Amino acid sequence: MKPVEYKVSFVPCSTRPIRYDADLCIGCNRCVSVCQCDILLPSAKKGEHPIVMYPGECYYCGACVMVCPRPGAITLTHPLMNQAKFVPVVK
């Protein structure tokens, strides 16, 4: 059986919801497998962080951050509009 090849094009977007720290990411691709909206693609090079192909479709659910075995390797940044709605808890 011949392997199937898929071709995708990067879709530019003004938001950057997911950012990787290349020094911390081990390229395990757990974030790719858990992403509910399929915006992440594994890197072609082993050990490198995944590619964020469709950043505008991110749900901001945080599943990628929670499944990551390396704390700090993935940063999820909500849009400014969403950030303004969060109220810090004062203890």
pLDDT tens, 43-75? 888 889 999 988 989 999 999 999 999 999 999
Structure confidence at residue 12 (pLDDT): 73
Q: CB 20: neighbour CB atoms within 10 A?
A: 21
Residue 45 forms part of a structural domain: yes
Q: CB 53: neighbour CB atoms within 10 A?
A: 15
Strand partners, 18: 76
Structure confidence at residue 66 (pLDDT): 96
Count: domains in the chain: 1
Strand partners, 41: 51
Token reading at 32: 């790719």
Classify residue 90 as left (phi > 0), alpha (psi -120 to 50) or beta.
beta
Q: What's the CATH number where 70 sits?
A: 3.30.70.20
* Nearest C-alpha neighbor of 40 from the set 21, 61, 64: 64
